[in-house]
């Protein structure tokens, strides 16, 4: 297990002048954390080689994708494909935070923009999330799968002893966890580790892990698995 807190990482320069921090990079994808101030927006741009997945973790906004405008909120995972022009606007008076997964890993030379491009003139529509389901580990989740890239689940861990499950591990998948809000522990190979908002955690194959929450406030996390999560890759000691 490896843990860091994204808010302690240095800010990285970017053409959209957002509060961006690069937090991880694998051979398949890279991950960045972006904080947008109230009423901030990014530039309308596109990529020709990279797919991107926007994982909204805090706040609300409008995400332009091609010729549509999506109303986005926490728990949304929006896939942006090559040549789809996109732009995120914070429509609220609080901060908007999101993770950006780029596959293949982010390349600044694959950012294409033209100040002559215009936003589409259409009515914004809500992004439709998958339904909330009960996960095998006791959490309540909203799950997504992006074949060939990763699977993503937004999870809410309750302080409910009856929902607690035995630690499990994976043989194939590496799991990355981002703590959106709340506090709790992540038990890894029998050792409890305190976790809280902004923590970014890597759990390697073979490491038995389980979330524990002792607080009235839910522990809310995003879990990313590569390769994509499969129940056939869940094992118990």
The superfamily CATH assigns to domain 2-126 is Jelly Rolls (2.60.120.10)
C-beta of residue 62 within 8 angstroms of C-beta of residue 88: yes
What's the confidence (pLDDT) of residue 34? 97
What's the confidence (pLDDT) of residue 16? 83
User: Is-above-0.85 flag for pTM?
Assistant: yes
The number of residues in the chain equals: 237
**What is the C-alpha separation between 47 and 199, in angstroms, rounded?**
29
What residues does CATH 2.60.120.10 cover in the chain?
2-126, 133-233
Cα dist from 108 to 9, 55, 220, whole Å: 19, 20, 31
Among candidate residues 207, 205, 137, 209, the one with its CA nearest the CA of residue 171: 205
**What is the C-alpha separation between 160 and 228, in angstroms, rounded?**
28
Among candidate residues 159, 132, 163, the one with its CA nearest the CA of residue 217: 159
| CA atoms within 13 Å, Cβ hemisphere of 167 | 18
Written as one string, the DSSP assignment of the chain is: -EEEEGGGSPPB--TT--EEEEEEE-SS-EEEEEEE-TT-BPPPEE-SS-EEEEEEEES-EEEEETTEEEEE-TT-EEEE-TT--EEEEE-SSS-EEEEEEEES---GGG-EE-TT--------EE--PPPPEE-TTS-EEEEEEETTTEEEEEEEE-S-GGG----BB-SS-EEEEEEEE-EEEEEETTEEEEEETTEEEEE-TT--EEEE--SSSPEEEEEEEES---GGG-B--
What's the confidence (pLDDT) of residue 218? 96
> What is the CATH code for 133-233?
2.60.120.10
What's the confidence (pLDDT) of residue 15? 84
pLDDT along the chain (237 residues), means of 10: 96 90 96 97 97 98 98 98 98 96 97 96 98 96 98 96 93 98 97 97 98 95 98 96
Pairing status of strand 133-134 against strand 30-36: unpaired
What's the confidence (pLDDT) of residue 237? 85
C-beta of residue 31 within 8 angstroms of C-beta of residue 101: yes
């Amino acid at each position: 297990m490896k843990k860091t807190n994204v808010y302690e990482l240095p800010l990285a320069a970017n053409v959209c002048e957002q509060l961006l921090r690069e937090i991880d990079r694998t051979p398949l994808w890279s991950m960045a954390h972006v904080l947008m101030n109230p009423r901030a927006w990014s530039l309308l741009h596109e990529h020709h080689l990279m797919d991107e997945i926007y994982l909204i973790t805090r706040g609300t906004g409008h995400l332009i994708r091609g010729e549509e405008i999506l109303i986005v909120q926490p728990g949304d995972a929006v896939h942006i494909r090559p040549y789809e022009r996109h732009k995120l606007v914070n429509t609220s008076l609080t901060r908007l935070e999101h993770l950006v997964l780029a596959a293949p890993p982010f390349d600044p030379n694959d950012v294409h923009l033209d100040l002559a491009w215009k936003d589409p003139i259409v009515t914004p529509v809500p992004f439709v999330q998958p339904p909330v389901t009960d996960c095998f580990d006791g959490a309540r989740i909203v799950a997504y799968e992006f074949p060939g890239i990763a699977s993503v689940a937004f999870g809410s861990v309750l302080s409910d002893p009856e929902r607690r499950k035995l630690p499990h591990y994976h043989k194939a998948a590496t799991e990355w966890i981002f703590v959106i809000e709340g506090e709790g522990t992540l038990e890894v190979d029998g050792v409890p580790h305190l976790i809280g908002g902004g923590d970014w955690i890597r759990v390697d194959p073979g490491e038995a892990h389980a979330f524990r929450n002792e607080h009235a406030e839910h522990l809310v996390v995003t879990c990313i698995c590569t390769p994509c999560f499969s129940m056939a890759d869940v094992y118990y000691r």
